[in-house]
Amino acid sequence: MTGRDLVRLLRQHGWTLEHIRGSHHILRKGGKTLSVPVHAGTDLGKGLLGRLLKEAGLK
């Protein structure tokens, strides 16, 4: 899953895109904030993807 795909998934689950700083998209929901790296065509690492999904409450 690419960073762009993860941002799309998070937005479907109520996260809002706060801002973009460089290649990192900052999303917010309630008091939680996530930073998702978005690099063209590059999949996120297995560990990073799992950690982000867990922090978002999707895993």
Per-residue pLDDT, 44: 97
Give CA–CA dist 21/30, Å, rounded.
20
In whole angstroms, give the CA distance from residue 30 to residue 41.
30
pLDDT of residue 39: 95
- Name the average pLDDT for the chain: 97
Beta strands (DSSP E) in 1-59 are 16-21, 24-29, 32-37
pLDDT value of position 46: 97
What token pair was written down for 36?
């998702």
CATH class in words for 3-56: alpha beta
At 50, the pLDDT band (50, 70, 90 cuts) reads: very high
Nearest Cα to 34, choosing from 9, 13, 14, 15?
Answer: 15
Length of the chain counted residue by residue = 59
Task: Express each pLDDT in 15-24 by its tens digit.
Answer: 999 999 999 9
